[in-house]
Amino acid sequence: MRRTQVGIIGAGPAGLLLSHLLHQAGVESVVLECRSRSYVEQRIRTGVLEDGTRQILQRAGVGERMMREGMVHGGIFIAFEDRLHHIDFPELTGGHTIVVYGQQEVVKDLIRGAAGGGWGDLVRSRGGAHRGASGPTRHRLPVPGRLGGAAGVRLRGGM
């Protein structure tokens, strides 16, 4: 029976990026998700990526489309007392910018990278996540025994 070193619960941006980074470090992982691939790819998420996230995605080799299609944004204007005031991000942060690029697009890039690069299996879980008002999240594994002795990681949040 094939064993996996790390089980990651959730195919959001953080879980998929972790799977990719683990693969680059030679660690096998499986990503468990209770929703369909279509749902995961289409789920609307935030559309602004900070400079550190952009750098990580580029270093990981999955930022090409983000840099081609995303909009690098160097600041904002704030209207106050009938005047526009420019907030210059690079000037205030030592050269850092943001990229306007939806996290659902990051998810698509990571899933396509996984499919083409042989890293991290994306497995749709039969049981899924069960969230109670105050109870813990439970997850039934789709392939019994595959994660025997493996580390499990559940990530929440985004990028």
Tokens of 152: 């499990």
The residue type at 81? E
Q: For the chain, what is the mean pLDDT?
A: 80
- Percentage above 70 pLDDT, the chain: 70
98 vs 132 pLDDT, higher one = 98
Residues of each domain in the chain carrying CATH 3.50.50.60: 1-45+102-159
Question: What is the Cα–Cα distance from 20 to 113, expressed in whole angstroms?
Answer: 8
Question: What is the Cα–Cα distance from 50 to 97, expressed in whole angstroms?
Answer: 7
What pLDDT is attached to residue 106?
Answer: 94
How many CB atoms are closer than 10 A to CB 109? 22
In this structure, which CATH number among 3.50.50.60, 3.40.50.720, 3.30.420.40, 3.30.70.890 belongs to the domain 1-45+102-159? 3.50.50.60
What pLDDT is attached to residue 32?
Answer: 85
pLDDT tens digits, 68-117: 999 999 999 999 999 999 999 999 999 999 999 999 999 999 988 776 65
Tokens of 144: 């019994």
Could you tell me the pLDDT band of residue 2, with boundaries at 50, 70 and 90?
low
Arithmetic mean of pLDDT, 44-58: 93
What pLDDT is attached to residue 142?
Answer: 46
Q: What's the pTM value of the predicted model, to 2 decimals?
A: 0.74
